[in-house]
Chain A
Amino acid sequence: MSWSQLFFYVFAVLAVIMSLMVVTRRKAIHSAIFLILAFICFAATYIVMNAELLAAIQVLVYAGGVVGLIIFVIMLVKAEEDEVRQTHGQWIIAAFIALILVVEVAFVFLGNLVQRTGNLAGKMAQAGGNTEAVGLVLYTKYLFPFEVASVLLLAAMIGAIVLAKYKLER
């Protein structure tokens, strides 16, 4: 087993453990902390697989941005602290959805539905980095969806400002 394989399995196991901690902690803030660690472990597995751009975006957007927002929300509702505790009231629905997902993933992998491309990210890294490759595809083939997503985000941003302003002015 090579070093990169070893690192991959170490971080994969850590990611699973951290994810389990996220769903089992009682306090919401502890879940958020383990979520950061889980995201960083995922990013580490991406790095091992030569997908550096994906890893950086994972940490920047999810560990930095999304969890930051989650912590903001938890902080601001601290007054009702007892309600911030995590409950397991929805476990039947959650288990059902998880079962469907497991079956789907198994179906995809066992049924050979994935095109076996080998270490695509590794080839990209040798050809000059996957940042260039992603950028090139994003601004040519997927330009329209990309722009639509940007407009959607802009609309959400303006909406948020309008809602906040409306409340302030009243």
Chain B
Amino acid sequence: MTQELVLVVIKMIVVFAVALLVVAYLTYFERKIIGHMQLRLGPMRVGPHGLLQPIADGLKLFVKEDIVPHDSDRWTFYFAPILNLVCALVLLAVIPFSYNFMVTRLNIGVLYILSLASVGTIALLLAGWSSGSKYPILGGLRSAAQIFSYEIFLGFSIMGVLMISGSLDLVKIVEAQSKVWNIVYQPVAFVVYIIAALGELNRTPFDLPEAETELVAGFHTEYSGFKFAYFFLAEYANMIIVSCMAVILFLGGWKGPVLPGIVWFLIKMCAFFYFFIWVRATFPRYRYDQFMRIGWKIMLPVTLANILVTGIVMMLV
């Protein structure tokens, strides 16, 4: 019993330490890749090819002055970034990186991720409200509206996969893809999932809550120093989660020839990171009404039709 507990604690430390390091270096790769796409070099000064840049950034944020605005609600102001980061990091607990490397196996893995992600949204609302100034509150409201609605499409796009694999258990979902990956059966759902995920992540074509030209920096305008770093880390941790989910649900998780499972998983995950960064460098920001129209008038009917067609095909086959 005690041995089991120790093992779980060690796994947790490994997963979270690696995740935090990956998150830090994601920011580096994002700057580097976007730099090269725009014919710049990106960070070059700190260490060879700027490799120590994330560490320097972290140190800078750590020693910065901790500013709390006068009109803010102090406790809520401190609580919001913590809630956001915790809700992002605990999701890693159920991700199966290979058949036997995961912190815990939960038979409702998918629901666990969806439910805690929705609590993370509330943190953005709280952050916007508690800052006590107008741009954050507008940004907070926007991000809440955006994430609450895109959560629906995210959930619906997953539904077809769940119907095929017949389980909410992430390990069973991957096992069900031994022969054919779900992306073959569910191409439409995959596309909708990627778009909804971009909306959930507040990333560039849909980064309306942080639209610099309209809202300064959205819900985290008043945040600085380490509290800001919490939001930043949470955003990139969510990127990891979304990529992991895409790999597990549509691309066969750790399945792949020759190489060990965990390597395949990481390769597929990195492909998604690259894709998200690529999208950021390619597309301009959508207008808010366009964004909502895409969601409710196109993606909702498409996902519902997808569920219907999946059901009919499953009945017939």
Residue of B nearest to A56 (CB): B111
Q: Pick the contact of B112 from A30, A36, A56, A67 — CB < 8 Å? A: A56
Give a binary string over A79-95; 1 marks a CB under 8 Å from any B CB, 0 the rest.
00000000000000000
Write out the residue numbers on chain B whose beta carbons fall within 8 Å of the beta carbon of A59: 115-116, 118-119
Count of interface residues, chain B, beta-carbon cutoff 8 Å: 32
B106 an interface residue at 8 Å Cβ cutoff?
A: yes
Q: Are A30 and B75 in contact (CB under 8 A)?
A: yes
Given contacts A29-B73, A29-B126, contact A131 B107 (CB under 8 A): yes
CA distance A27 to B79 in the complex (A): 15
Q: Are A52 and B122 in contact (CB under 8 A)?
A: no
CA distance A68 to B137 in the complex (A): 15
Given contacts A29-B129, A33-B76, A64-B115, contact A125 B122 (CB under 8 A): no
Binding site secondary structure of chain B: helix
In this complex, the member of A27, A30, A56, A129 whose beta carbon has the largest number of chain B beta carbons within 10 angstroms is A56
Q: Are B126 and A52 in contact (CB under 8 A)?
A: no
Given contacts A30-B75, A33-B76, A131-B168, contact A52 B106 (CB under 8 A): yes
B114 an interface residue at 8 Å Cβ cutoff?
A: yes
Residue of B nearest to A68 (CB): B122
A65 an interface residue at 8 Å Cβ cutoff?
A: yes
Q: Are B119 and A63 in contact (CB under 8 A)?
A: yes
CA distance A129 to B128 in the complex (A): 39
CA distance A94 to B83 in the complex (A): 31
Q: Are B108 and A131 in contact (CB under 8 A)?
A: yes
CA distance A67 to B115 in the complex (A): 13
Write out the residue numbers on chain A whose beta carbons fall within 8 Å of the beta carbon of B5: 3
Write out the residue numbers on chain A whose beta carbons fall within 8 Å of the beta carbon of B130: 29
Binds B, one of A8-16, A70-78, A102-110, A154-162: A70-78
Q: Are A75 and B129 in contact (CB under 8 A)?
A: yes
Q: B62-84: which residues lie under 8 A (CB-CB) from chain A?
A: 73, 75-76, 79, 83
Q: Are B107 and A71 in contact (CB under 8 A)?
A: no
A2 an interface residue at 8 Å Cβ cutoff?
A: yes
* B152 smallest CB distance to A (angstroms): 11
Q: Are B125 and A65 in contact (CB under 8 A)?
A: no
Selected A-B contacts with CB under 8 Å, 17 pairs: A27-B73, A29-B73, A36-B83, A36-B119, A36-B122, A52-B107, A52-B108, A53-B108, A56-B108, A68-B144, A71-B125, A75-B125, A75-B140, A75-B141, A129-B107, A129-B167, A129-B169
Task: List residues of chain B with CB under 8 Å of any chain A CB.
Answer: 1, 5, 73, 75-76, 79, 83, 106-108, 111-112, 114-116, 118-119, 121-122, 125-126, 128-130, 137, 140-141, 144, 148, 167-169
For the complex of A and B, list the 4 residue pairs with the smallest distance between their C-beta atoms, beginning with the closest. A64-B118, A60-B115, A56-B111, A59-B115
